[in-house]
A and B are shown apart, each in its own frame.
Chain A
Amino acid sequence: MSTAAAGVAARVRPNPARLARRHGWTVGVYVLLLVLLLYWQTIPANWGSFDVQSLAIDALPLAFAAMAQSVVIISGGIDLSVGSLISLINVLSAKYMIDMSFRNALLFGLLLLVGSAAAGAFTGTLIVLSRVPDIVVTLAMLFVWAGLALEILQIPGGGAPQSYLQLGTGHWWSPWIPSGLMILLLAFAIFWLPLRWARPGLALYSVGSNRNAAYLSGVGVARTRIFAYALGGLFAGLAGLALSATSGIGDPNAGQYYTLNSVAAAVLGGVALVGGVGGLIGPIAAAFVVTLVKTILILKGVDQNWAQVIQGTLIIVVVMIGGLAIRQRART
């Protein structure tokens, strides 16, 4: 009795070392983001709400893609098909929304979200049934979705009603609050927060950290993994819709950028590739960091292609350091 009470007391009292270990990385990412933001706002001559707006527009699809990737990685998998699923949703929405009213466009978007969650669930089911490694199945699905996207729209085109575009590029209340940012926070609050501490979320983490232990404690491993991919598909669908809302067109190759960068944002955001570690708050900030690095480079007059090279190199270095960190943790 007394030991249980002591246990509860120990849990209530915040342990600084434990807090630092658990949230240190996330806090670090936010500090990095803050530093970059402070530096960024000194570069343009008339930095203002317009710059905030364009940063939100640039980062929104990547933030959703990072969420999609993080959910899957936390469950112990990896989803290489995120980028091409984004392309598919992007071209589907841009091709058919162009002549729709705002209400129909929203309903169609909702339908696409359900469809992309189903696509994710399909990938997850294939992985569970075939017992082929996640990487191989999602690599194959990468080409299936990309092929479908190319079949639907060969060249960039399409569009969306003006009021729908406002969802991604407009602002709420004040020009300093981009609507894209609010939608991102809303999606996070609706789709992730209720799950995070409920059964499905806990199952996600347990399957990711130790599949056998999770199975032995009665977690439906197969069901949880499929659920993770479905949730990832949902976020990828949001990324695709966000891409059409922010860019105004559909592009069958637009998603390529997100395959690697979503993984990079997840790792930079504190999601360990071994699974079971991290959350979605970190990767969202990391998506802004990754975008901001490129924005700053371009503002500094660096050529677009050089910016890609530098960004790619930075991502590799980040992942390398992440790998070293895992090794250090395993050694201690």
Chain B
Amino acid sequence: MSAGTPQVATPAARLRAAQRVLSDNPAIALTFVFVALFVVTDIVNRAQSGKAFLTPTQVSTTFLYAAPLALLAAGQTLVMLTGGVDLSVATTATTAAFVSSGTAHDHGTGYALLLALAFGFGIGLVNGIGVAIFRVNPLIMTLGISSVTLGALTIYSQTRFVALVPNIVNTLGSSRFFKYVPYDLLVWAPIAALIILGLRFSGFGRMIFAVGDNPVACRLAGVRVWQVLLLVYALCGAFSAVAGILLVGFNDAADLGIAAPFLLPSVAAVVIGGTSILGGSGGYGGTILGALILTVLDSLLTILNASQALKQILYGAIILALAWLYARTSSGD
């Protein structure tokens, strides 16, 4: 059914057209879900404690909280667009948190931040080497790297205790300017713009989609698939490191579990945002909304006194339900 023909649309056809628009632009539905969830949280909060949730401060807090998750999910989006998944984002972020707070005192803030980013990039590069060159299943490669990193971090945290979170990192991770604008937006927004524009307009961005869609065709067309994968995993590590720096700024201290609760949400945010798990379709815009939705959902569950266990079960169920939904809509076409 082409766009020009239906002059007198039947209700069924109109419904189908609406479905089509929604599945082509998940951002519309997601924005609606985000706002609706905010209103529901507001109502629940009013009922529980008599205070409003729909305030400028809470909106700004939501963005403040969402930034680390959205940055972890940024790398995850790129990796999932190529048809992989990165389960080492949380430990990479933890590494960056430890490195940036552990070396700032002796070597200065700039050095510490650069070193943290280099560590993130390096860990991502190792993932990339395994996946791109040795063709290890991404899941197993990243899970293995995350277990190795966690072991190394445990040793590091036992031997070194001097930890100082630089002031600028603290400010970036937890403060706001103009009363309502979180400083971490200054980090998140440029990266988000870079990813969204890069995916759409750069050759590398198009190659990411192409590799995810059909790696064999890509190889036959002369794309060096392994180079694309290598860079994508390395970038994912670097973005995770940025998230780790923001997290340590927010928490004011690094600990081994600082980023672990964000691992599943980072995958969930990408899936909610409409990026296909099989790779090849999606984008970062949806992921941002996914991260915002999960942050509000987390607030709502906290207000409702839900345990960590219940949250985990719920996140698992959400991923499953949405993956199922997206699988149905894409196979129906």
Please give the residue numbers on chain A whose beta carbons come within 8 Å of chain B beta carbons, in ascending order.
78, 80, 126, 130-133, 135-137, 139-144, 146-151, 154, 259-260, 263-264, 273, 303, 305-306, 308-309, 312-313, 315-316, 319-320, 323-324, 326-327
Contacts and interface: CB of A to CB of B under 8 A. Distances in A.
Given A131-B331, A143-B264, A260 B312 contact: no
B100 to A, nearest CB: 22
A320 B130 CA distance: 7
Interface string B245-282: 00000000000000000001001000100000110000
B312 A135 contact: no
B148 A309 contact: yes
A73 to B, nearest CB: 10
B136 A319 contact: yes
Interface residues of B, number: 42
Which of A260, A316, A327 has the most chain B CB atoms closer than 10 A to its own CB? A316
A306 B151 contact: yes
20 contacts: A80-B139, A130-B327, A132-B323, A133-B277, A133-B278, A136-B319, A139-B319, A144-B312, A151-B310, A154-B309, A260-B143, A305-B154, A305-B155, A308-B154, A312-B144, A312-B145, A312-B151, A319-B140, A320-B130, A323-B136
B307 interface: yes
Nearest to A312: B148
A256 B311 CA distance: 18
Given A308-B151, A320-B130, A132 B310 contact: no
B191 interface: no
A279 B152 CA distance: 34
A265 B261 CA distance: 27
Contacts of B315: 143
Contacts of A327: 135
Interface string B71-90: 00000000000000100000
B145 A323 contact: no
A143 B316 contact: yes
A323 B317 CA distance: 32
Contacts of B303: none
Contact of B317 (A132, A139, A144, A273): A144
Nearest to A151: B309
A147 B145 contact: no
B324 interface: yes
A47 B260 CA distance: 40
Contacts of A139: 85, 267, 319
Contact of A324 (B134, B155, B307, B331): B134
B147 interface: yes
Interface in B233-255: none
B148 A316 contact: yes
Given A139-B319, A147-B316, 8 more contacts: A132-B324, A144-B316, A150-B307, A150-B308, A150-B312, A259-B143, A319-B144, A324-B134
Contacts of B19: none
A102 B327 CA distance: 48
Contacts of A150: 307-309, 312
B309 A263 contact: no
Nearest to B267: A139
A148 B264 CA distance: 16
B313 interface: yes
A323 B135 contact: yes
A189 B197 CA distance: 59
A312 B141 CA distance: 10
B130 A316 contact: yes
B320 interface: yes
B151 to A, nearest CB: 4
A260 B146 CA distance: 10
B302 interface: no
Contact of B155 (A126, A263, A303): A303
A137 B320 contact: yes
A250 B152 CA distance: 27
B227 interface: no
Contacts of A133: 277-278
Contact of B319 (A131, A140, A316, A326): A140
